[in-house]
Amino acid sequence: MAVTPAGAEVSNAVATSWKKIWKKNLKPLADKRYYTKAQSDAKYQPKGSYEPAGSGYTKAETYSKAEADAKYAAAGSGYSKAESDGRYARSTSLVRGSYMILNVATAANQFDGTDISFGTTFASAPEVHIIPVGGVPPAGCSGSVTAPDASPGHLCVFASLSSNAGTVFSCKASTSSCFGTASDPWGATLFTTSNAAGSMQAFGTWAARPTAVVATAPGRVSPGSGSTGSDEPLGTGATR
> 36: burial class by Cβ within 10 Å (0-12, 13-18, 19+)?
exposed
Confidence at 37, pLDDT banded by 50, 70, 90: confident
Rounded to a whole number of angstroms, the CA Rg of the chain reads 40
> Is 131 a residue whose pLDDT tops 50?
yes
pLDDT at 83: 78
> Is 223 a residue whose pLDDT tops 60?
no
pTM here is 0.55
Confidence at 6, pLDDT banded by 50, 70, 90: low
Segment among 27-36, 37-46, 87-96, 148-157 with least mean pLDDT: 27-36
Q: How far apart are CA 202 and CA 210, in angstroms?
A: 26
> Is 224 a residue whose pLDDT tops 70?
no
- Listed by start position, the domains of the chain span 95-209
Mean pLDDT, the chain, rounded, equals 77
pLDDT at 5: 58
> Is 222 a residue whose pLDDT tops 50?
no
End-to-end Cα, the chain, rounded Å:
116
CB-based contacts of 233, cutoff 8 Å, min separation 6: 99, 100, 101, 102, 112, 113, 114
For residues 85-92, average pLDDT: 68
Give every strand in the sheet of 233-234, ordered side by side: 177-180, 169-172, 187-193, 111-117, 233-234
Q: What is the pLDDT of residues 175-192, one digit of tens each?
A: 887 766 789 999 999 999
> Is 9 a residue whose pLDDT tops 60?
no
pLDDT at 106: 94
Q: What is the pLDDT of residues 148-177, one digit of tens each?
A: 999 999 999 999 999 999 999 998 888 887
Q: What is the pLDDT of residues 93-106, one digit of tens each?
A: 899 999 999 999 99
pLDDT at 152: 93
